[in-house]
Amino acid sequence: MGHVLHFHTGLGEMMTLSAGISFSHTTFMAGGKVTAYKSFKFHNRKIRPVVLMIEVGEYKVKEGLYYTKDHEWAQVLEDGTVLVGITDYAQKELGDIAYVELPEVGKTVEKGDVLCEVESVKAVTEVYAPISGEIIEVNEELNDSPEKINEDPYGAWIAKIKPSNLEEELKELMDANAYAEHLKTL
């Protein structure tokens, strides 16, 4: 199987640039690794995609996030706050999520503290805070629709934290590539 880069031109057209490379839609497959792309930049007539997802086996890892070995993710927003959720690996291991015990707004957590519990048909598991800070918001949608974590684990955040030691603690977390390598060891 050759390398296939699917490229959506906005016109629904399919383009083939050279031997074994073709373009359409939004996925890249090479050597068993599938990656989704957000957009394409044209530089010197070459298409340089911006990576969104890395697939390791059946698990997706979103680029631009920070990860823990316990399968939590952290996304630093432009205002310096951090969204926290669980990874695709975590939600698939849990199975159908039935309930999320959301943390209390205003509570202060230290990195590694229990942030909340997630209950599925298989188990109840603790979710740990990937960073220290004050919980300033929770995703109330999860009260009525906890399955959103199964449907979109990187979109269904659990809590927003105002960090207290962000720069130092981010150094201790993994980027998407390091987390993808970690998944290969499981």
Ranges in the chain annotated CATH 2.40.50.100: 66-166+175-184
Cross-strand pairs, 80: none
pLDDT in tens, 76-125: 999 999 999 999 999 999 999 999 999 999 999 999 999 999 999 999 99
Mean pLDDT of the chain: 81
CA pair distance 141, 156, nearest whole angstrom: 9
Predicted pLDDT at 52: 83
CA pair distance 50, 176, nearest whole angstrom: 13
Of 99, 93, 174, 112, the residue nearest 142 (C-alpha): 99
Of 96, 103, 65, the residue nearest 83 (C-alpha): 65
* Domain at 66-166+175-184: CATH architecture: Beta Barrel (2.40)
Q: Is the pLDDT of residue 133 over 90?
A: yes
For residue 144, give both structure tokens: 């009525």
Q: What is the mean pLDDT of residues 17-39?
A: 38
Q: Is the pLDDT of residue 172 over 70?
A: yes
pTM score:
0.75
Q: What is the mean pLDDT of residues 130-155?
A: 97
Provide the strand spans (E) within 21-132. Answer: 21-23, 27-30, 33-43, 46-56, 59-62, 66-67, 72-76, 82-86, 97-101, 108-109, 114-120, 124-128
The residue with greater pLDDT, 169 or 18, is 169
Indicate if the alpha-carbon torsion angle 173, 181, 26, 91 is positive or negative.
negative
Of 167, 168, 185, 161, the residue nearest 72 (C-alpha): 161
pLDDT band at 40 (very low <50, low <70, confident <90, very high): very low
Please, are residues 88 and 52 in contact by the beta-carbon 8 Å criterion?
no
